[in-house]
Each structure stands twice: as structure tokens, then as C-alpha cells.
Homo-oligomer: A and B are copies of this chain.
Amino acid sequence: MDNHILNECPIQPVVDILSGKWTSYILWEIYNKNNHYGSIKKQLPGISTRTLAVRLKFLENKGILSRTVFNTNPPTVTYDLTNKGLTLAPILKSMKTWSELYQ
């Protein structure tokens, strides 16, 4: 997913993060406070458990998401935007605005 040849391209870091069929959708859900593993999956019909888990871990490794386990019965997990992840908000907002106007 990382294109080493394009390191000079000024949008490479964000393209790297947002690539992947489901990544933007996952971030959109979490940005909208839908942050439990199960409820994200429910809101994204068609995504497989594996893909969701892989993408969430990818975003966690990139410092975009934080993962919190709650000792409920059964234990639940939430994913939240980190401070770094929150800075993606303008991009997500502009994506929503565009989609509303030009779809």
C-alpha cells in the first residue's frame, strides 16, 4: 500500500492511509461515533470480519485509531480517533460535502 517511489508527492501520506476499499468508510463510521467493532460491522454490510480487523489494526498502527477494551459481559471493544486521527476530519467533511452535491 506504500509507494516508495512517490515519496515526493505531497498527498502520498494521506493516500497511503485512505487506500483500501473500506478504510474511508470505517473512518467515517468512527468519526460519527459508531465505534464498537460490532456496530461498525453492522453499518458496513458486505465487509468481512477479517477485512474489518485488518483495516482497524492498520489504522491503529498508523496512529489514527486507539483501541479500548471494556470489561463488560461479554467484553466489548471500541475504536476511537486519536488526536492525529481527528485531524482527518476536514478531509472526511469535504468528502461528505462533495458527495452530497455531486453524486
Q: Which residues of A approach B to under 8 Å, CB–CB?
A: 3, 5-6, 9-15, 18-19, 21, 24-25, 28, 44-46, 84, 87-88, 90-92, 94-103
Q: How far, in whole Å, are A90 and B99 apart by their CA atoms in the complex?
A: 12
Task: Let me know if B102 and A13 touch, CB within 8 A.
Answer: yes
Q: List 14 A-B contacts (CB under 8 A).
A: A3-B46, A5-B45, A10-B99, A11-B24, A11-B25, A11-B99, A12-B25, A13-B99, A13-B103, A14-B95, A15-B24, A84-B102, A87-B98, A87-B101
A interface, by DSSP: helix, strand, loop or mixed? Answer: helix
Task: Let me know if B90 and A94 touch, CB within 8 A.
Answer: yes
Taking CB atoms, residues of chain B closer than 8 Å to A84 are 102
Task: Let me know if A12 and B46 touch, CB within 8 A.
Answer: no
**Shortest Cβ distance from residue A81 to the other chain B in the assembled complex, whole angstroms:** 13
Taking CB atoms, residues of chain B closer than 8 Å to A88 are 98
Task: Let me know if B10 and A25 touch, CB within 8 A.
Answer: no
